[in-house]
Amino acid sequence: MTTHASGVVDAAPPHGTEPMPRVTVAELDRLIATARTCRANVIRLVHHAGAGHVGGPLSAIDVLTALYFDVMRLDPQRPLWPDRDRFILSKGHSSPALYAVLAARGLLEDATLLTFDELGSPLQAHPDMRKSPAIDMSTGSLGQGFSAGLGIALGAQRRGSPARVYVLLGDGECQEGQVWETAMLAERLRVANLTAIIDWNGQQQVGWDAESDEPGRQETMLEPVAKWRAFGWQVHTIDGHDMAALVSALRACRTATAPTVILARTMKGKGVSFMEGDNAWHSRVMSDAECALALAELGA
Amino acid sequence: MTGQGALADATGVGDPAPLTAVVRPARLANGEGRSISLRDAFGEALLQLAQADPDIVVVDADLSNAVGLTSFPAALPDQYLQVGIAEQNAVGVAAGLATWGYRPVVTSFAAFLTSRSLDQVRVVVAQTGLPVVLVGGHAGLLAGRLGKTHVSMEDLAIMRALPGMTILAPADGVEMRGAIAAALAANRPVYLRSGRDPVPAFFAADHEVVLGAADLLREGDVACLLSTGSITPLAHAAVQLLAEAGHEVAHLHFGTVKPLSGAVVRDVARGRRLVITCEDHSRVGGFGSAVAEILSEEALVPVLRIGTDDVWVDSARNDALLALHRLTPADIAERIAERLTR
């Protein structure tokens, strides 16, 4: 614990660049259970709202759980603690996942989840930093959260803060030119306190499925490892639903000496059998029966 | 009701209204003071401000020297961040820095900052309300010889459509100094319009910039000319020509384009036959449109909007462009006189 001059005591664990210990089986079990609860809450809030994306949030939720429940330094009692780690959901349309995880972490009231997308709700269709102190940056227009994340990481360095910045991008989002403007500058400035995670679920709103029969040419990203390496980033490719792999890769970023990107292979709709890999669930509205079935599969 | 007479009778009875408190009589340079470009005045002032405030950080999309920051990078390297030719990233990085309490100043050309990075300005600056100051250089005809890709005649229109954006368009170097200081003190998103070429001092050296205030440059009962930005000195020369021809036209300068006080605009319109707006900008969507929007609500008085027509601006010398678009003092005076004697 750190005691500030103001007398405020940090409840969150101290920052440090030392390697973190290996994740234990008990920790993993807890993270997996938390992710499952958050998946159920995504289903509930999207079904209740009758609007919002569902496939993308389910592909992102394991990454978010690993970040908010294991890797990031934060204090739910003080959401604006200056030295907290920051998270930016650059793929802002996966907001239901963020809201579910923030609520589970105690950074949002559970009751607000069912106000998603309604008049007066802090839970806007896309994350709005003006509506809740738990949201570190407004996003929704793709590519922009990454730039802002770079700015926040640079700000932390300038202030001498140990805060780290984690930005989750979509694989389709990497088609935005601004992503590569950001990647290029982060390399040039050696911004090692910035970690990008790509929610590599292999699908986007339309994509190239209908455009090409050539193997590999339908992918959302072509040669992503080579691209990010060429931009000077440390690249890790992992299974984005393997909690042990996620925690290990994200913990390792704490000792990075260059900006790091984690290519997390994921599946849209993960955790709900009839949604998995079916791009119809990008933003489809669930029937009551489908909602009940999904919740039953999630044991909720 | 038909015709201008009926309109004037219905809406503007009596003497011109006294101007409200937010309209201040301005002291002019009257030949004193030095000739300086808006960009050089900006550069000098920002360097001084930044030397006193380490939280001021320039985020530059590789045009710092072109917008007047010639000595800044070497003088204050820790407060200068070159992000390269990447305006979209520049705006995003600036927003991120602002979350830490820094006062980022993003520098590029008006054309790029307000168009290429418009979505970034819209989402992470205007929608968040983060205090980022956007400085758009080489705006208007007075940055001639660059042509339509580089000279923005529509930046005010674009920025004006964004809720929460404060827009400043200083007339001269004196006002630019105050404007950048006021922009940095405003603690909200600001777009500051800048220019390239030296202009004679228009305001006296002690001219104080107050956001939202208008400067009364001349009284006149018949009509009122409202101008903004670096065309104001030309418009001022025009109203002098009009006075010599017997047309007493009041003149106010608005260094703040947004927010624009409806009360002030209505006050100066009341009792006058004509309101004229003048700007180094397209007639579409800019300062004149803002004034017309206010006055049209109550149909107080006709509004003659002087600016460039809805056309792209080719590259040419400033003088040739001003003549082509009928924005020289003689042209402005002639357009107004023609209307007043119609």
The 10 Å CB-count burial string (b at 16+, else e) for B51-80 is eeeebbbbbbbebbebbbbbebbeebeebb
List all residues 6 or more positions away from A55 whose beta carbon is below 8 Å from its beta carbon: A201, A203, A268, A269, A275, A278, A279, A281, A282, A283
CA distance B84 to B72: 16
Residue of B nearest to A180 (CA): B89
Find out whether B157 and B228 touch, Cβ atoms under 8 Å. no
If you count them, how many residues does chain B have? Answer: 342
Q: Quote the radius of gyration of chain A (alpha carbons, Å).
A: 18
At residue B8, the pLDDT reads 29
Find out whether A64 and A91 touch, Cβ atoms under 8 Å. no
One-letter amino acid for residue B294 of the chain = I
Cβ–Cβ of B124/A156 closer than 8 Å?
Answer: no
A277's tokens: 């890999």
Residue of B83, B100, B128 with shortest CB distance to A155: B100
The CA angle A199-A202-A203, to the nearest 5 degrees, is 100
Residue ranges and CATH numbers for the domains of chain A are 25-297 (3.40.50.970)
One digit per residue, pLDDT tens: chain B, 342 residues?
A: 333 333 223 222 234 333 334 788 999 999 898 899 999 999 999 999 999 999 999 999 999 999 999 999 999 999 999 999 999 999 999 999 999 999 999 999 999 999 999 999 999 999 999 999 999 999 999 888 899 999 999 999 999 999 999 999 999 999 999 999 999 999 999 999 999 999 999 999 999 998 989 999 999 999 999 999 999 999 999 999 999 999 999 999 999 999 998 989 999 999 999 999 999 999 999 999 999 999 999 877 999 999 999 999 999 999 999 999 999 999 999 999 999 998
Q: What residues of A are in the B interface, CB distance below 8 Å?
A: 128-130, 136-141, 143-144, 146-156, 158-159, 177-178, 181-182, 184-185, 188
Residues of chain A with pLDDT under 50: 1-14
Find out whether B120 and B92 touch, Cβ atoms under 8 Å. yes
A42's tokens: 């995504």
At residue B145, the pLDDT reads 86
CA distance A203 to A266: 10
Name every chain B residue with its beta carbon within 8 A of the beta carbon of A159.
Answer: 100
Residue B65's alpha-carbon distances to B47, B61, B193, in angstroms, are 13, 11, 16
Residue of B nearest to A131 (CA): B128
At residue A18, the pLDDT reads 55
Cβ–Cβ of A144/B120 closer than 8 Å?
Answer: yes
Residue ranges and CATH numbers for the domains of chain B are 3-29+208-340 (3.40.50.920), 36-199 (3.40.50.970)
Cβ–Cβ of B81/A149 closer than 8 Å?
Answer: no
Q: Is B213 helix (H, G, I), strand (E, B) or coil?
A: coil
Interface test with B, best of A90, A181, A184, A194 (most B CBs within 10 A): A181
Find out whether B252 and B214 touch, Cβ atoms under 8 Å. yes
Measuring CA to CA, which residue among A162, A120, A9, A158 is closest to residue B100? A158
ipTM: 0.93
At residue A16, the pLDDT reads 52
Cβ–Cβ of B96/A140 closer than 8 Å?
Answer: no
Name every chain A residue with its beta carbon within 8 A of the beta carbon of B97.
Answer: 151-152, 154-155, 158
Check CB contact of B45 with chain A, cutoff 8 Å: no
Min Cα separation A43/chain B (Å): 28
